[in-house]
Chains A and B, each alone.
Chain A
């Protein structure tokens, strides 16, 4: 009997196929051409399986497969096994092995294609037996005539593996083309698995999928026609057919799409793979050169948890394939042209940039990358370093002597420009290097620095303009000034700011030093040529001057340079002897500052906080200029060139040459206060009040005015009597509470600008009440032209600061204004050490149910009306509703205007008033006085009779309708009884400024004006010089209402200090309905407790 060796191969074309080598009697062997004979000889299980497989291929074997022999490749007859047959045969072999080796139960006979092969127990035992055989390459004799060769035994092991894979669904679908037709097959997940495993997996998965499909479809009782309709591509049929003989119906692009979807599905099931070149966020990371000048630039991906990983590393561990890595890197190249030219390192996805490339990358490519959603990561310390110009300012005295050039703005000053980057002052060489490199990245003192190109170009542009302006003057001063060395030949050609320069050869810096009129410098700083410039003016002599009066001040004069930050400050002069008061240190400083400006023929804004004694400082100034020699203590420093002002003239009054009269303009409410303070502290001054119906309006006024020192008038008269006032040769114009001229277009402001006076001062506690244009208007009044036209100021300075928070513009504004604005704040401990504390409190008060009901109704009404209202109607609606809401918060009767009582059945109708009553009660008990501010006169009129009745006390009410004399009387009476209980009610508008009411140590803001500057001014009636007690300030807001919300907003804004504050109403008008609702709606959390025993009647009402 011949010996049959059974082999299993996987043919490229046929797939799995069985072939048999028959051992002939004589010892030779040949491939069997016909397997019929084997059927009789094989063990029964195998025989059955073979006959089923052969059933479709009767007679001699018609297929040939390639088999690698010892020496060459043969083609041998073989029996192709489709999926069913493959499982059949392999199962039979497995059973035989189990039987032969005694593993598991006895042979179970043929296993049909519909049942799994053996139990898993048997399977593992079979594996335990066959495994070593397969590894050793040993065959196994199944019967006397039949031997299973190692390749067939391998199939048994693979089958066990495939069974597990399919059960766990660790399989994937591939759409393939075979002989021009697409079909679908199952495969093991691992592409590089043995082909035989893929075949067995395919067969087993077909079985399992067919069962699955069968059970689903049977459950749904559908017909085959329906199935076909639902499976237009026949994918289900193709995957569930017993053999791979059912094609997929899809054209090539559809096949690709299906494959992509199937692959994506499998990938989504891989726990670790979250990264792909298209699904993850791309990141590029630039590193500083570890050595030399090669800047590593890495392509990275950010995974789901935010970690940034280099693509090169991801590729190394297989999380990203070569395509993904290449695609990520390619995307960077597409977006960043610089990178295309750069050297790729050996990872193939990262680059090494030269310094020039790194600069170009930062300058030109990062924008496009970020616009495309690619994150650019730089070393942390690489914030852009701004370039700053700093001028060291020196006075050009020698030249002034020579040329007789003027003082003040007309004086020449010498500006030595220094350029710094970040905190580093650059040397000339470094400046040249930076300008030559024209790169974003420069190495400065061993550190790589990223330059901010905007400020660098601004600095270059400014220096060019500085040079051009000097040359444009053509005054041939080259030899005279110290900057002559850089003058002349090295003129920078005009060019576009961003035009590339010739590399390598530094262009000479335009001019780093030179002289210029102050006026020109200020004009330059405020012009478009300074746009984006970070600049600081610093006086040359930075040694601080001894602050106390009378110190020797040799060799110095009151040049404008002194007033520049870092400068020595104004000449220290003693306190005027004629002043009947002792000036505080800061007041003397303020006096000297005004004196210096006066000498320079310049105006200024004294912007000290309320209560610091601006009045006193002005009175001191007037006193000083009436002394025999105003600078008597240090006569040697009096520069000869300071001549008496044009308005000065000899006068018999006093000992010295008296200057002309000063016109003081103030609000009506403080005229009396000026009068009193002048009389008290500067009794020598002849004061005239130009006010009232009986004032002098004819020509005699000019004569009379010339004989007095101080004429006090009001803003309304400044405009009305401008003609009369203009006839006087004023020595000085002083505007108290100068915010009255902050609107440049008003008649008052125009009159203030029109009135001729060589020396002009503005006094205000709030130089910027709302917008920077306020400051422009003030400055235009005292120093016309300094800040340029209103339009240019808005464009180059105010706009950038207010809209963009542009720091460089703010810096330029400071450089421009700092010599002319003196502002000291009370909270500065060095200014005031003896002023008692101010305790600021916001008191949140609950609404009563009655108030809450009214409030909610009003908000609801507004929200209903505002829908569809146009912008104007909107504004009207919002503003009027706001007013009504404030009234409701004050008191229901205030809003209703129905004359109803303050109390109802003895109970309070307003939470605020209940609180205020308590406060007044305890203050009176302690013998203290209270100031109460409201913006509503009607409300005040309701309160006075109520309090009269409640406390038996007449509470004066100062408002716009009270005559000046009565106001003065009210104030005098109030101030005359310190230590006695009392209160004064003031309307915010009439009583908020100018008055001194230091007898009170409580301030209550009954309702809110929503402008902290205005409110603080009002508060300062009590909190000012003369106050001896701590001042308690209470601002009342109703809980849960718009009052409270706006107060929160303002609390933040207060930190903006002198910067702009958009009016609250504007902000509200511009809100959309939802925002508005959020701002206005009464929030429940703060609504009054309905169960308060105070109000049982309305307990369940709402």
Chain B
């Protein structure tokens, strides 16, 4: 399981945002480390890439057989900058879908630029690095390899740019309201329930397994790129729940009530292993809602 680079020669970074990110990251890496890092990346030595809020990490198999874990940390926006960025991005309702489909419009970046802001981590002052290897002070070849893999990930999933900046799609999406846009128009037309499916499509959407902007769903996901960019994992993963904005809490709406009795324990098996998933499943199953469990716990107490 390792990440396969699409680029085999020449410059890495097919999209404009990827190329821009590569240029700024390369600017702090010495040329020797750059080429070694490129070699490692292209030799599929990067085992995994993890993009979390303000931090990207990777596992890089070095020539010495050790997997080192380099990381790139991106500094947070100041409160004022953050507000400007959020406001600017929110003015583009299409942006979440565009980012999800792999497009980061230059025009949006230009608008940010007008406010002296950018989504692309630019200078050495904005990006710091670290690695578990002993090559200090770096940036080491592992950081370089991470940088290149990250660039390709940004090509495909510019939504990572948000994550690296500590932002989420929810934050840059407009607060929702019903009865607007196409929906409202369609209802005006009164044709919303007069339609016919064109052709049958019994199968659900085909999952191509390369949705690098979502986290991999199993060990076999190609690319092995994981992400902590979802809003649920975000604050907690950072250990700083206090950073959550009010927007984030309201944007998602209230989830439905939870009933442990209907939760599907088979979902746990692959990732957690037999024992842990069985233990958790039986724990949830023994909640106060189910009668059989009270006896279980009572037995445990004596």
Select B267's contact among A168, A268, A282, A348, beta carbons within 8 Å. Answer: A268
* Residues of chain A within 8 A of B95, CB atoms compared: 348
Chain B 178-220 interface 0/1 with A at a Cβ cutoff of 8 Å (1 = within): 1011110110110110111111110111110001011111110
Query: Could you tell me if A272 and B256 are in contact, using CB atoms closer than 8 angstroms?
Result: yes
- Across the interface, A321 reaches (CB within 8 A) one of B170, B219, B235, B301, namely B170
Interface contact A315-B256, CB-CB below 8 Å: no
Query: Contacting B183 at CB < 8 Å: which of A178, A280, A312, A333?
Result: A312
Given contacts A256-B226, A326-B159, 13 further A-B contacts (CB under 8 A): A168-B288, A169-B284, A169-B288, A211-B300, A218-B300, A261-B277, A322-B170, A340-B101, A345-B185, A348-B174, A350-B182, A373-B201, A375-B198
Any B CB within 8 A of the CB of A485: no
Most chain A beta-carbon contacts within 10 A, residue among B102, B254, B256, B270? B256
The interface-forming segment of A136-144, A289-297, A910-918 is A289-297
Q: List chain A residues, Cβ under 8 A from B289.
A: 168-169
Choose one: B180, B204, B249, B296; the contact of A279 (CB below 8 Å): B204
Q: Could you list some 23 contacts between A and B, CB below 8 A? A: A12-B240, A168-B288, A169-B284, A191-B235, A212-B283, A212-B297, A251-B48, A252-B50, A257-B218, A261-B270, A265-B280, A269-B264, A273-B255, A280-B204, A281-B205, A282-B205, A287-B186, A290-B189, A312-B180, A318-B252, A323-B100, A346-B93, A381-B194
Option from A174, A256, A348, A370 in Cβ contact (under 8 Å) with B94? A348
Contact between B176 and A347 (Cβ–Cβ < 8 Å)? yes
Is the CB of B118 closer than 8 A to any CB of chain A? no
**Do A256 and B228 touch across chains, with their CB atoms under 8 A apart?**
yes
User: Distance (Å) between the CB of A354 and the closest chain B CB?
Assistant: 14
CB distance from B15 to the nearest CB of A (A): 14
Contact call B181/A346, Cβ cutoff below 8 A: yes
B166 adjacent to chain A (CB < 8 Å): no
Known contacts A298-B186, A345-B93; is-contact A230 B275 (Cβ 8 Å): yes
Query: Is A177 an interface residue, CB under 8 A from the partner?
Result: yes
Which residue in chain A gives the minimum CB-CB distance to B263? Answer: A269
Interface segment, one of A232-240, A629-637, A951-959: A232-240
A216 on the interface (CB 8 Å rule)?
yes
Contacts of B203 in A (CB 8 A): 373
Find out whether the CB atom of A323 lies under 8 angstroms from the CB atom of B214: yes
Contact: A252 with B69, CB < 8 Å? yes
Nearest CB to that of B225 among chain A residues?
A253
Within 8 A of B (CB), among A296-348: 296-298, 310, 312-313, 315-319, 321-323, 325-327, 329-331, 333-334, 340, 344-348
Cβ contact within 8 Å between B297 and A215: yes
The proximity string for B residues 11-45 relative to A, scoring 1 for CB distances below 8 Å and 0 otherwise, is 00000000000000000000000000000000000
A residues less than 8 Å from B237 (CB atoms): 176-177
B299 with A252: CB separation less than 8 A: no
Interface pair B288/A378, CB less than 8 Å apart: no
Q: Are B272 and A235 in contact (CB under 8 A)?
A: yes
Interface flag for A831 (CB, 8 Å): no
CB neighbours (8 Å) of A321 from chain B are 170, 231, 252
Minimum CB–CB distance from B236 to chain A (whole Å) comes to: 5
Q: Pick the 9 closest A-B CB pairs, nearest first.
A: A318-B253, A269-B263, A344-B94, A169-B287, A215-B300, A345-B181, A272-B256, A330-B101, A296-B182
**Bound form: Cα–Cα A331–B213 in Å:** 12
Measured in the bound complex, the distance between the Cα atoms of B259 and A278 in whole Å is 22
CA distance A294 to B249 in the complex (A): 34
Q: Which residue of A lies closest to B181 (CB)?
A: A345
List chain B residues, Cβ under 8 A from A322: 96, 168-170, 173, 231, 251-252
The answer to whether B59 touches A189 (Cβ under 8 A) is no
Our pick among B197, B258, B299 for the contact of A269 (Cβ within 8 Å) is B258
Task: Let me know if B287 and A266 touch, CB within 8 A.
Answer: no
| In the complex, residue of chain A having the shortest beta-carbon distance to the beta carbon of B244 | A192
Q: Is B124 an interface residue (CB 8 A)?
A: no
Which of A176-203 touch B at CB < 8 Å? Answer: 176-178, 187, 189, 191-192, 195, 198
Chain A residues positioned under 8 Å from B215 (CB to CB)? 256-257, 260
- A159-180 contact mask (Cβ, 8 Å, vs B): 1 or 0: 0000000011110011011100
**Given known contacts A287-B182, A330-B98, A370-B198, is B233 in contact with A259 (CB within 8 Å)?**
yes
Cβ of A209 under 8 Å from chain B: yes
Given the complex of chains A and B, what is the CA–CA distance between A163 and B179 in angstroms? 41
Chain B, residue nearest A256 (CB): B226
> At the interface, yes or no: B274 with Cβ under 8 Å from chain A?
yes
- Per-residue interface assignment for chain A, residues 505 to 519, with 1 indicating a CB less than 8 Å from any chain B CB and 0 otherwise: 000000000000000
Check B256–A271 contact: CB distance below 8 A. Answer: yes
